[in-house]
Amino acid sequence: MRSRILLLRRAAVRSSSQRSFAQSTATRANLRARPQLPFLSVPLTSGSGRVRFLTTERKAQLKYEILTGIKYTGYLWIAGACVVAIWGAVSIERGERKWPTPEEWSFITRFDYRGIHYARYSPTQGKTIDWIQVAHWAEACVKRLHDPEIDGAGLKDAPSDCPPGTKDITEKSENWRRGYFNAMMQYAKAAEHMEGWVYDRTRNRIFPPGTMIGPSNPYPRPLPPGFNGAPREEDCEPRHEHPDDLYLRIIHTVGLTSRQKIEARIAYANWLEYKCVNGPASIIYEDALNLATEELKGLPVPPLDKKTMTLNEVAGLPSENLLNALTQYATFRARQGDISQALPTLVSILKARKSLPFPSDDIAPAPRKKEGGWIKSLTNLARSIFVPPAYPSPPPDGTAPPVRDPPELCQEAALSLNIGEILYATNPATREEGLGWTREAVDVAEEQLHKINPIAREDRPAREACRECLTIGLSNWSKMVAKLAKEEEARKAAAAEQRKNKSSGWFGGFWREGENGNGEEGQTTINRWVAEERVIEERERRVRDLVEDLKQPSRGPLSFFKA
């Protein structure tokens, strides 16, 4: 009896230690009340039965993890979109403050206008201007300004005798007209660099000039890197309008000021001169000069002597438009080789500019009163950040005489530079005189660069003009001195050779003794030019910070993780 009871206990213990797939630990106490079915039991990893990996608890955990991942991913995308939106808003605001646009224009037109300036005046460091982008933004801006349903509402066509597409902008506001003129001038300048580029309609791509295959171009040039497959002439059309058409439209636009008309004519004449069309270029220069003299018809004495093309001193101070137009005409005549007319004209212009008055300092600005304390300061700071600045006031129309401010003094330096170059290149007897004019131009340009505020936005054009004048002046000065030093060295070598030949004769000793003075004089002259070359090198080293913008390149946000 005892042995039977022991066998039953061992069997019970053995059966309880082994769990099959059809047995559940949760229902072990109720084996007799509930049948053990395979799909109702919980699998175990031990033993030889099958295992269930996707349990109810595991399903709930995976569902929670997936939903949490989707939620946080959405949060990250929303945060990223907010950062991009903030960055875009800040960039637009900075661009608007740097290149203001008229308030009447729509948002997209103002965006295109800022894109023109950003692509032209803010190129990546070490890269040239991308004129493809400049032309793209300018074309888009001008089309929106011409569209009567967008920003060209109320815009009229010019009279029929004007080129097709010319507009009458007299009914628009002054800010609108000024912005329109700037956009058209930018488009014309970009069209100069994009002349000859073609648009392939079949592939929606543009190609450089001279690469199109067709009867008009039997010898096409190879495509530059980045362009694949030369276009065919039957599939192409000019990408942009021709610069001649754009400049003629600007010149005949009704509603421009005299200053704008003269600027457009000078730009068009420069383009014609670049294309070696000197006859029409001379006519356009004279047209701009006549337009500037017509503004001064009321004077008892004409301001310009048409025979000698010089300014009359008895006529009084010339206008700014007359000075600019006459300067461009004189430099054009100098480039054409007409020195006899160009040199007296440039000298008369320089004399007239030096007779201009300096800016008046009689009226001193009233001292600012500190009212409101720090609350007022914070209010002004917030207003400067969130309130956009007003559109700049229009510049003078050019009918009045200018004053000798930094931009005008830079113009005087440029005139001295031109006169010095002409004197040096035309007559060997006036080389040192031309060198003196060049030295004076360099001194004036450097002095003005030290005075001009490098941060103020309104002084940026004057700084660029003085910087260009200083760079060219130092280059001309260095070339002039190097040429004079080389000529003196050649003369010294020829004189030494001549003395050597004479010394080989019967009376060589007597001639050698008498020529020591000439040799010392030549050595003194050579030492003078060598010393001046060293002065120029020291001058170039000293003004390097003024000529070049030595700004540290931006390293980006990864700079925080670099040593």
- C-alpha Rg value of the chain to the nearest Å: 41
Q: Which two tokens stand for residue 103?
A: 């308030």
pLDDT tens digit string along 381-437? 777 777 777 788 888 888 889 888 888 888 899 999 999 999 998 888 888 899 999
Using DSSP's 3-state secondary structure scheme, residue 198 falls into: strand
φ, ψ of residue 304 in degrees (nearest 5): -130, 130
Low-confidence ranges of the chain (pLDDT < 50): 13, 15-29, 31, 362-370, 507, 510-519, 521-522
Q: Which two tokens stand for residue 443?
A: 């001194």
Q: What is the pLDDT of residue 20?
A: 45
φ, ψ of residue 163 in degrees (nearest 5): -60, 150
Q: What is the pLDDT of residue 501?
A: 74
pTM of the model: 0.79
Q: What is the pLDDT of residue 27?
A: 46
Q: What is the pLDDT of residue 531?
A: 85
> How deeply is 316 buried, as exposed, middle or buried, from its count of CB atoms within 10 A (0-12, 13-18, 19+)?
middle
Q: What is the pLDDT of residue 534?
A: 87
